Amino acid sequence: MKSIVVIMPSMIGGGSERVLSVLMNSLIKKKYQVVLALIKKDAVIEYNLDKKIIVEKNEKIGKNKIHNIWLEITYIRHIMNKYATATCISFISMYNLYTIIASIGRRVNVIVSERCDPKRSFKKYKNTMDKLRQILYKKANYVVFQTKEASEYFEGLKNTRIIPNPLANDLPEKYNYDDEKIFVAIGRLEEQKNYKMLIQAMNIVCDKFPEVKLKIYGKGIKEEELRAYTNSLKYSEQIIFEGFTDEIHSELLSAYAYISSSDYEGISNAMLEALAIGVPCICTDCPVGGAREFIEDHVNGILVKVGDTQGMANAIIELLEYPNNRECYGNKGKLIRKKINVDKIVSIWETLFE
C-alpha cells in the first residue's frame, strides 16, 4: 500500500485545506494510506475527512519563535521517520520550506505546492525568504502550481507541474434561475479578499436596486473591522455576515450570483464550484490568473479589474438589468465539470507519487 503524508499547520476553513480534503478522501478510496500531520498544537479540522485518514498532531510549543520553528521542523522529520516510505505533501509556503529542510539527508519524495500569489507569500524578510525558497524548491521532487502565471515567478525550476484544483463528483447542479436577488461571496475575511471594495460596490448597487442583498460566508481577522465599516454605510442591513458553513453548495444553488473581489488569488475553489454548479460568477481578474483561466468575460461570467469599485458595481447591475444572461453564463460555466473533475485531477497527482 502506498503512503501519503500531508503536512499542514491546521485544517481550518480555507482554499488549500478544501483541496486537500478532496484529495485525501479520494486517495483513501484508491486504497492509499493517508496521514494528516498537523503542525500547530491548537490545530482544528473543519472539513469532513474519511475516518480511515490517520491524524497525527504535534503537541509541542517552543519557548520563543525560533525555538518553535525548530520544534516544528523536528516534528516533520519525526513524521518522515515514522512513515519512512511515504510521499510527503505540503501546501503552505512557509511549511513547504520546513518540509524540505526536514527532508535533508533522507530519501523522501517531497512535493510542495504554492497555492496563492508567490509574490505575496512572505511579509517579513521578503527578499531573504524568496531567495531561500528559490534554493530549497530545487531540492523538492516536484513543485506544484495552480496556474502558469504562478510558476513563472520562479526562475530555473525544472521540477514544476501545473495542476488545477479538483471538482468533487457530487456537486449539485442549478436549473432554476428564478432566484431572489441575493449575491454570495465566500472566503476568509482577510485583506487579500478586499471585501471592503465589494461592500462599497454593493452600496452603489443598492441605490438602484435597494432589495439586493450580499451574503458573505467566512471568518477571519478582518471581521470586526468589516462589520464596523458596513454599519457606517447607508445600506448596512443589506450586507449579511454568515460566518463559516459546510453547507455552502446549498447556499450557492439559491444564489443570484457568486462574487469574488480578491486582490490576488490562486484558483478560488468557491469560484470553480460556483461555475460547475451553474451559478453566474463576477470575479476580479487578479493575479495569479486563476479567474481568467476559467472565466471567459461575458461568455460564462464577468471579469472586473482588481480594486475597481465602480466596475464591480456595474457588473452586478448588468446582471440585475439583464437577468436572462444569468442562465446563459451558468450553463456555460457547468462545462468545467468535465475539465477538472476530481478523478482526472487525482490521477495527475498520482503520477507524482511514482
The per-residue pLDDT for 184 is: 98
Judge if 327 and 348 occupy the same domain.
no
Structural domain for 127, as ranges: 3-166+341-353
The per-residue pLDDT for 15 is: 85
Series of mean pLDDT values for 10-residue runs along the chain (354 residues): 96 88 96 97 92 96 91 97 97 96 96 94 91 96 96 92 93 94 96 97 98 96 97 97 91 97 94 97 96 97 98 98 96 96 96 93
Judge if 37 and 154 occupy the same domain.
yes
For 95, list phi and psi in degrees, rounded to 5. -75, -20
Judge if 133 and 157 occupy the same domain.
yes
Judge if 151 and 285 occupy the same domain.
no
Considering the domain boundaries, does residue 71 fall inside one?
yes
Judge if 151 and 235 occupy the same domain.
no
Only one residue has cell 511579509, namely 123
Locate all alpha helices (DSSP H) within 141-238, ordered by sequence: 148-151, 195-208, 223-231
The residues, any chain, with a CB within 8 Å of residue 222's CB and separated by 6 or more, are 189, 190, 191, 195
Considering the domain boundaries, does residue 87 fall inside one?
yes
Angle at 206 between CA 200 and CA 211, to 5 degrees: 135
Judge if 233 and 121 occupy the same domain.
no
C-alpha cell recorded at residue 31: 486504497
Number of domains in the chain: 2
Judge if 159 and 269 occupy the same domain.
no
Judge if 30 and 104 occupy the same domain.
yes
Nearest to 6, CA basis, from 40, 35, 45: 35
Residue 334: how many other CB atoms lie within 10 Å:
17
Considering the domain boundaries, does residue 172 fall inside one?
no
Judge if 192 and 305 occupy the same domain.
yes
Judge if 229 and 304 occupy the same domain.
yes
The per-residue pLDDT for 12 is: 86
Residue 268 CA: distances (Å) to CA of 13, 88, 264, 340: 13, 24, 10, 13
C-alpha cell recorded at residue 345: 485531477
Q: What share of the chain is helix, strand, coil (3-state, %, to 5)?
A: 45, 20, 40
292-307 CB burial, b ≥16 within 10 A, e <16: eebbeeeebbbbbebe
CATH code of the domain in which 217 resides: 3.40.50.2000
Judge if 141 and 16 occupy the same domain.
yes
Nearest to 349, CA basis, from 168, 116, 166: 166
The per-residue pLDDT for 245 is: 87
